[in-house]
Amino acid sequence: MTTLHKYVSNIKKVKYLMFLIIFFLSGLNVFGQKYSADFCSPVNYPILLSGNFAELRPNHFHSGIDIKVKGVGDALNSVEKGYVSRIKISSQGYGNALYITHPNGYTSVYAHMNRYSSKITNFINEYRKKNPDFEFTYYPDSTELPVKKSEVIGYSGNTGRSYGAHLHFEIRETKKDIPVNPLLFNFVVKDTRKPNFYNLKITKFDNLSPKDTKLKNVFPLSKSSEGYYKTKQKITLWGNIGFSVEAKDFMNGSNNRLGIFSMELQIDGKKVYYDEFNKFSFYDSRYVNSFMDYAEKKMSGKYFQRCFIEPGNKLTIYKDCINSGIINFSDNKKHKVKIIIKDIKGNKSELNFNVRSKKPKAKTDFKNNDELFKFDVENYLVKNNIRLIIPEFSLYKDIYFSFSKIPSSKYIYSDLYKIHKSTVPVHNYMILSIKPKNL
């Protein structure tokens, strides 16, 4: 072998070795790693979570992580150098909160604090000499309150809308104020526990007769000896079908039920649905009412996460979805269904079950006599004494709108009206006008 050949061969070996090192190190990162920033921990002990990013909450996704603290008064650190860009004191919401803008393009948020550091407290006291209100929001400029990395900025507490001392912590993209999953960065959180399945729900999209009740909607799940989850009974179905699951995640050192980072649906080995919570916009947070099964939450109190997308749902967390995750079963064959859920560390659980496509004996020509309201247009209800305007894209899907009037007594200023169903969510405000009587 010539010297040149040896040189080239050595270069190839070095490149291959570098590839192996990079591949190994990438395996140490969190699942779905896409962000880089050298943040330090906001607390001075191992991070344990009582709530995680994008956890399902009433009318919104959780925009940060809830870090367990040892009690009121634990020191909280700035995760990177920067400057205090917002101070907010309120009896509701985040309570005593601090926003720090960093030069790397991110802003960190610290909420429910008991008190601030002496430097920030002195600044607030000077501000209050001119603005004595207890509740206020102030936006310092980049020169007023600079902070260093790991500098103590305040102390843990239970202020605002909080039900126990903890730190609500967020990382946001500064430019558009978009919350990013903090665990996509270098914060050390130990997690080797797999997420759990509890129940499967099946939704039919065909307008079948009410007599077609053979398919039970919710199926309890059990764990097989091989480690995957399965249904306890056989499933026969027909037509356009959507699947939903009740599932939760857990982390080491904590029994708090947390949200799922990603979910994938496969039919006969082919991916038809996938979601992943790297980040979301505050403007889209209310779409949680379509992401989950809102009616099921109202009726049973359980959170079911859908493996399909309603047409009015504009979340950007979905990837590689076919027909919005809605499957047509009308071939009289058996099919293998697999649902995979993962946490942000890559721990995963699988639900495997078979379904049989079989046409029901009941007639499928049932007609709903209620008026059809389309999700993507403005809808009106105009009667003698009532007017309702539903703006476009206020609904997540087309609905057959139901309405009824209930006679009232002479002691009430108008008739009573029942406007559709409380199990159907709306995304925007509606305009309602009722003509009074007996005035």
Over residues 77-86, the pLDDT tens digits come to: 999 999 999 9
Say whether pLDDT at 210 is over 60. Answer: no
Lowest mean pLDDT among 32-41, 73-82, 93-102, 334-343: 32-41
Task: Answer yes or no: pTM beyond 0.85.
Answer: yes
Say whether pLDDT at 50 is over 80. Answer: yes
Tell me what percent of the residues of the chain surpass a pLDDT of 90: 77
Mean pLDDT of 364-391: 88
Band the pLDDT of 8: cuts 50, 70, 90: very low
pLDDT reported for residue 16: 47
Centroid of chain to Cα 136: 29
Over residues 250-278, the pLDDT tens digits come to: 999 889 999 999 999 999 999 999 999 99
Mean pLDDT of 204-209: 70
Mean pLDDT of 318-330: 96
pLDDT reported for residue 34: 58
pLDDT reported for residue 15: 47
Tell me what percent of the residues of the chain surpass a pLDDT of 70: 89
Report d(CA 2, CA 110) in Å as an integer: 63
pLDDT reported for residue 9: 52
pLDDT reported for residue 117: 97
Band the pLDDT of 412: cuts 50, 70, 90: confident
C-alpha dihedral over 92, 61, 256, 187, to 10 degrees? -100
Residues pairing with 201 in the sheet: 218, 244
Q: Which long-range contacts (CB under 8 A, 24 or more apart) does 401-405 make?
A: 401/370, 401/371, 401/372, 401/373, 402/370
Answer yes or no: are the C-beta atoms of 379 and 428 closer than 8 Å.
Answer: no
